[in-house]
Homo-oligomer: A and B are copies of this chain.
């Protein structure tokens, strides 16, 4: 799995940072979390294909998280997309898209399946599942947690050969957790491989104030991507604006047992975010402050932060 940061600024873009958007690539598809203005250009620069996006999850209806969506849909139509696109978000997002369509006849070449965000499972396919949890912000807002299930089991070729299963596509099926029939005998994945690894999960806060229940929602996540609009110095301002500080993000990471904390959604006042990273690291050492086009690669049990997207193969 790869996580690409396409926008890491709060409210307004800066020279270096676009507004919020995170692109997650799994084995068979891509998923987009929030869609700040300028998203299309960020996708172009990152060399990512918008057609691969199977579902878009919008945390809330503040402009800096959603203004890139209409342009993305139009581009998908120009690329003659045929596959259905799922969009998850609040009722207001649905109205937003309906009003665009009504006033501008978007003339899309594909179907949109709209799912209203709510606490619990909001999206599932063979490969992934996404859960949502309401956050505390100045408008209805959700955090999301993506689980990737379809992971290869550790396979034992010698056991497979003993059972007379020829090397090839059947091995792959077993490794991916499917049972097969060979010479009339049912072979289960357990007979030739270890039990499946637990799913990888990536959690994204969207915009939120600090509150304890959110920690439960993130419990045991591999990567926690937490908004960090302000430094600890501005804790009062964060409370007032219903945003989080570096220390609050780090506290959530620590208490939820995350493996890696990635800070994003920085106020434009921070030209250099190293200070923010340092503040969080005092509480949760495995912290990194995101920048645009940073990539986090998760492979087996390794989580690697790669600054240059071109090296994120």
Given A71-B37, A92-B103, decide whether A44 and B63 contact each other with a Cβ distance below 8 A.
Answer: no
CB of A71, distance to nearest CB on chain B (Å): 5
Give chain A's interface secondary structure class. helix
For residue A103, which residues in chain B have a CB less than 8 angstroms away from its CB? Answer: 92, 95-96, 99
Which interface class (under 10, 10 to 19, 20 to 34, 35 or more) fits A?
20 to 34
State A287–B92 Cα separation when bound (angstroms): 47
Q: Of the 9-residue stretches A7-15, A20-28, A121-129, which lies at the interface with chain B? A: A7-15
For window 67-115 of A, CB contacts with B under 8 Å fall at: 67-68, 70-71, 74-75, 78, 92, 95-96, 99, 103-104
State A104–B64 Cα separation when bound (angstroms): 12
CB of A265, distance to nearest CB on chain B (Å): 15
For residue A12, which residues in chain B have a CB less than 8 angstroms away from its CB? Answer: 40, 75, 78
A41 touches B63 (CB 8 A): no
Additional A-B contact list (7), CB under 8 Å, known A14-B44, A63-B104, A67-B70: A11-B78, A13-B40, A37-B41, A37-B68, A37-B71, A63-B74, A67-B71
- Jot down 5 A-B pairs with beta carbons below 8 A, ordered by A: A12-B75, A12-B78, A14-B44, A15-B41, A96-B104
